[in-house]
Amino acid sequence: MLSAYTSDEIRAAERELMARLPDGTLMRRAATGLAATCAGLLPRVYGGRVVVLAGGGDNGGDALYAGAALARRGARVHAILAGRTAHEGGLGELRRAGGRVAEARSGDAVLMEDLIVRADLVMDGLAGIGGAGPLREPYATLARLCRRAEGVVVAVDVPSGVDASTGEVAGEAVRADVTVTFGAVKIGLLIDPGASHVGALTPFDIGLRPWLPEPGVVALTGADVAARLPRPGPESDKYRRGVVGVVAGSDRFTGAAVLTVGGAVRAGAGLVRFASSAEPVARVRARWPEAVTTVLAPGEGIGEVGRVQAWVLGPGMGTGEDAHALARSVLGSDVPVIVDADGLTLVARDRSLLRREAPTLLTPHTGELGRLLGVPSGEIEAARLRHARRAAEELSVTVLVKGSTTLVAEEGRPVRANLTGTPWLATGGTGDVLAGIAGAFLAAGMTCYEAASCAAHVHGLAARMAAGGPGEGEAPVAALDVALELPAALRSLTVG
């Protein structure tokens, strides 16, 4: 499991460790790891063009020492000093190694721009983990120039302009190709918008682990998910494997029903009971004959559907009076319920639907979460972590916030950030598939917290497989493609 921490937690651990080490040891450790990573990213070290962007803090010192190490190996290193002061030890070592130095505040702006644009590698040591709020000048200009760099951009500990504790970005921020982070992963490196500035995340151990507290944010690995997923045994039958009920779809939105049921079926539900109006029931029967279906009359509840271990409520069901009555029937049950899509709209209008004893999992995107909390979606996107925690506490539920960073929040537990997925998931119907997956896991006996976390991970894996691979080799996917790849995604998980 990958653990992540706030900047205050990291600095407290650093103080504990530094009190036990000779002065400068920790910075030397960090600089050694940074220099080794940068050397591996250069086409060649000898003669390579390296630009070090150094602020006045410890990250600037790390970068200057790393630049000196590369200069001793023959790299042509230029340091651009952004602060009024620079780390004296690092600056002195860089100069002794043959590195050149320019002052951003008083230097030749055209020359500095040319250095950054033409460099083989740019090292961003402008701002440290304590930085918050927008970058001031000349930091903001230097961060902006990094976008034009032809070479690789390496962030030192955290991309400058990204809040290390939250992932919030208040203005200009460096977009790195690689981020070398020291001691432990910072929360802001896992959560958008900050996560989109990180590039490839490379943690480097400097010995902080004994002094770190319990993390506030974690991310499951594939091995973590594999260890948590329910597996059938010799005595299993369809009922022991979990019966999930799905209330989804309408005459207008039949596809939502097909996709939600498909997510549950392909994720391994023992049995799926589907209930809706006649048209979506016909579509589900045709596509997923494994499902047991019930046609509901307008205003009818779920009393005749049969016993289930969990419900999925909402995708495409509509938001009128009949839908509200049906939602009240499902949420009045004594089993866990996942509320998605139109179900979230109904809950946002009538919070009394959430007054229940059994566990509840809400799966909103940022717009839906905004309606639940009365906050514009833009504010949610800018501060995902804060609003995910607020929703879990205020609504007394487990919350899975969908988006470029998927977060799972439950009061009293670390927030889980999901690291799988692809931008191609931003297409209609993929959230319905996710709801079905989570429903299958919940019906199999997992808690809302575990089911949501594992469903997000598996959903992201399936999407990557459907897209064909990481990076530029990926192709567009449709929601049904994701559902169909679920068995392959589950097979790919092995316990480490």
pLDDT in tens, 91-147: 999 999 999 999 988 777 888 899 999 999 999 999 989 877 899 999 999 999 999
Number of domains in the chain: 2
Q: Is 128 annotated as a binding residue?
A: yes
More confident residue, 389 or 106: 389
Range of the domain at 428: 222-491
- Same domain, residue pair 183 and 232: no
Residue 256 assigned to a binding site: yes
In a domain, 496, yes or no: no
Residue 327 lies in a domain: yes
Same domain, 232 and 191: no
Amino acid in position 161: G
Determine if residue 276 is labeled as part of a ligand binding site.
Answer: no
- Helices marked H in 126-219 — which ranges? 139-146
Q: What is the dihedral of CA 320, 322, 323, 329, to 10 degrees?
A: 150
> Would you say 199 is a known binding-site residue?
no
Query: Is 436 annotated to bind ligand?
Result: no
Is 59 annotated as ligand-binding? yes
Q: Are residues 200 and 213 in the same domain?
A: yes
What percentage of the chain has pLDDT greater than the value 70?
98
Is the predicted pLDDT of residue 496 greater than 70, yes or no?
no
Instruction: Please state the pTM of the whole predicted model.
Output: 0.92
Note whether 353 and 254 are same-domain residues: yes
Given a cut of 90, whether residue 88 has pLDDT beyond it is: yes
Instruction: Examine the domain organization and report whether 257 and 164 are in the same domain.
Output: no
Residue 58 marked in a binding site? yes
Give the whole-angstrom CA distance, residue 256 versus residue 249.
5
Same domain, 308 and 422: yes
The response to whether 177 counts as a known ligand-binding position is no
pLDDT, mean of residues 206-223: 96
Binned at pLDDT 50, 70 and 90, residue 473 comes out as low
In a domain, 369, yes or no: yes
Task: Judge whether 315 and 342 are in contact, CB under 8 Å.
Answer: yes
74 band by pLDDT with thresholds 50, 70 and 90:
very high
130 annotated binding-site participant: yes
343 within domain boundaries: yes
Closest-CA residue to 79 (of 117, 53, 115): 53
Q: What is the CATH number of the domain that holds 30?
A: 3.40.50.10260
**Looking at the structure, do residues 252 and 145 belong to the same domain, yes or no?**
no
Task: With respect to residue 299, please indicate whether it lies within any of the assigned structural domains.
Answer: yes
Residues 253 and 156 in one domain: no
- Structural contact between residues 168 and 188, judged by C-beta atoms closer than 8 angstroms: yes
**Whether residue 277 sits in one domain with residue 174:** no
Residue ending a domain, choose from 168, 186, 218: 218
> Would you say 262 is a known binding-site residue?
no
Annotated binding residue at 55?
no
Residue 108: what pLDDT? 78
Q: Same domain, yes or no, for 259 and 378?
A: yes
Q: DSSP characters for 312-374? A: EE-TT--SSHHHHHHHHHHHTSSS-EEE-THHHHHHHH-GGGG--SS-EEE---HHHHHHHHT
Burial of 285 (0-12, 13-18, 19+ CB in 10 A): middle
Beta pairing class for 49-54 and 271-276: unpaired
* 294 is a domain residue: yes
The enclosing domain of 398 has a CATH number of: 3.40.1190.20
The reply to whether 206 and 236 lie within a common domain is no
380 and 249 in one domain? yes
Q: Is 406 annotated as a binding residue?
A: yes
- Among 20, 7, 54, 17, residue whose Cα is nearest residue 181: 7
16 within some domain? yes
Where is the domain boundary, 218, 252, 276?
218
pLDDT, one tens digit per residue, over 11-20 is: 999 999 999 9
404 annotated to bind ligand: yes
The predicted-structure confidence for 347-388, as pLDDT tens digits, reads as follows 999 999 999 999 999 999 999 999 999 999 999 999 999 999
The domain boundary, picked from 164, 183, 218, lies at 218
